Amino acid sequence: MTKPISIPLSDRYMAAILGYFVALKLIISFGMSPLGDEAYYWLWGQHIAMSYFDHPGLAGWVLGLGDAVFGNSLIGLRIMSVLSSIGSIGFFWLYAKRVAPNNQKSTMLFTTLMVAASPTLFIWTILVYHDHLLVFLTLGSMYFFTCYLGDAAKQQTGKLTHLYSGAVILGFAGLTKYSAVFLGLAVALLIIGHPKLRGLLRNVHLYVAGAISVVMQLPTLYWNFRREFASFEFHLNDRHGSNWLDNFNSDSFFNFVLVTILLFGPFLFPSFIRLFANKTSTGFEEIGVWLARLVALMSTGTFMFIALFSFTLWYWSDLTYILLIAMLPLLGIRKWLAHAHVWFGLVIVTLVTFNYVVVPIPNLMGARDKEAATVYNWNEVAEFVRNAEAIHNPDFVASSRFQLASQISFALGRPDITSIEVRPTQFDIWEDRYTIAGQMGLVLQDEFGQLGEVKKRFETLVKVDELTIERFGYPLLKYELYLGTNYTPRPTNLVQE
């Protein structure tokens, strides 16, 4: 018998706070210019391909669709993250129907609020990084697999529609981000290890479903096969530096752990610990908790290991926390912890919204937030570049880093701008290298760019103009323009001769 679900917060309270979060979400979505990586992924949608250097292709395909329907605008850029958030709430409704059929509305409101109050999950379901799709698709895949395996654990025949739906959605998750593999492995390990599920190993439908998920990855595999598996090599080795496993880095490890706890929500972690102690009834509840456990161990465990040797971003393990929150009504959370999580999230995301939409907060106190400054005044920067093009008539326009090149591309609404830097990026494929080799280029530089690399790639390089953008009289960021002659493209194995 399933223990009745107890929600520690009232419906009216949760709905009011969610309304505030929704308002902030819309303000950021349609009031903040794209971050560098967002604009980079927008460019993927302008250059549709089977896959890309940094990640599989689905996010680029989706952004291309948004741009085709809504044009080069913030709506076209971020409408898909709004839709994926609505889809995630839909899956929370289905989870609630399974675990709390007599308290479905309150349970759905609760899980949705817990996600919204997690600073990382709130922001990463707004930005058009790959994570908004990964969250939506992983929630969906886990739901259908949990339905199917939960029925099997109760010695019932699971619905094939649940099995195949889980497999197809998992395939799409794999086309979004490589970390989706952790959910696929969790499903496989649970079937092998659970005594009531082992019998499914004799079920041919299980193998057909698994084959569907794998075959869906063929675009990614084919792209990598043609380019010496460059994307896999980048994630497994190149991004961490040569011989990275030889360099123990305790600072990186503790930074990863502390930032993870802080930015996913420190008041959720007592419940996270209970994920490994609570016993649940057989069926949907048991399978859901076990899948969340296995994903947590593999995902967070993998990135904690990497963090022992190399800088690791905390949000790479976001699968752990979205599945934890999906199971949170079963795990339980004390009322004061639930309130603390909500108000902690409210304060953080309010400050983040102000920092990126109104004015960077450190500037108000005599300091600078150069990273936040990169989203401000792009109409002004675009006009700055247009005027310089009219004066100097360069053969091409470039930038000193891929994020900046992407942002000016979005601001100008043109995908022909290139990036000049040391590390390989998708720009190595997009660059019309044989046309612009030996030509004159106009290069946009900001305070993050590597001007030394730009100098190596031109015979001569001369500064021709500069612009300091301001907000309410506060100087935010300085941009410079350089004119270079006789450009030499960077050698790369990403371009197929």
In terms of C-beta density within 10 A (0-12 exposed, 13-18 middle, 19 or more buried), how is residue 156 classed? exposed
Residues 194, 294: contact at Cβ < 8 Å?
Answer: no
- 244 within 8 A of 237, measured Cβ to Cβ: yes
| Dihedral angle, C-alpha 271, 5, 326, 265, nearest 10 ° | -40
| Report field, pTM of the whole predicted structure over 0.75 | yes
- The SS3 call for residue 49 is coil
pLDDT tens column, 268-288: 999 888 888 777 777 899 999
How far apart are alpha carbons 160 and 205 in whole angstroms? Answer: 8
Predicted confidence band of residue 492 (pLDDT cuts 50, 70, 90) = confident
Q: Which of 42, 402, 423, 58 is nearest to 233 (CA)?
A: 423
Give the N- to C-terminal CA distance of the chain in Å, as an integer: 64
In 293-389, the DSSP E strands lie at none
Q: Does the structure show a pLDDT above 70 at 193?
A: yes
Arithmetic mean of pLDDT, 104-128: 96
pLDDT of 347 reads: 98
Q: What is the pLDDT of residue 496?
A: 64
- Could you give the count of Cα atoms lying within 13 Å of 155 in the half-sphere of its Cβ? 0
Exposure string of 257-278, with b = 16+ CB inside 10 Å and e = fewer, is: eeebeebbbebbbebbebbeeb
* Radius of gyration of the chain from its Cα atoms, rounded to whole angstroms: 24
pLDDT band at residue 26 under the 50/70/90 scheme: very high
Q: Which uninterrupted H or E stretch holds 441?
A: strand 441-445
Q: What's the pLDDT score for residue 1? A: 40
Q: Tokens 């709430």 correspond to what residue?
A: 89
- Buried b or exposed e, range 407-438, using 16+ CB within 10 angstroms: bbbbbbeebebbbbbeebbbbbbbbebeebee
DSSP 245-266: GG---HHHHHHHHHHHHHHH-G
pLDDT, tens digit, 9 for 90 and up, residues 97-106: 999 999 999 9
Average pLDDT rounded to a whole number, residues 200-209 = 96
Q: What is the DSSP secondary structure assignment for residue 322, as one 8-state letter?
A: H
Question: Range with the lowest mean pLDDT among 205-219, 226-240, 329-343, 379-393?
Answer: 226-240
- Is residue 388 scored above 60 in pLDDT? yes
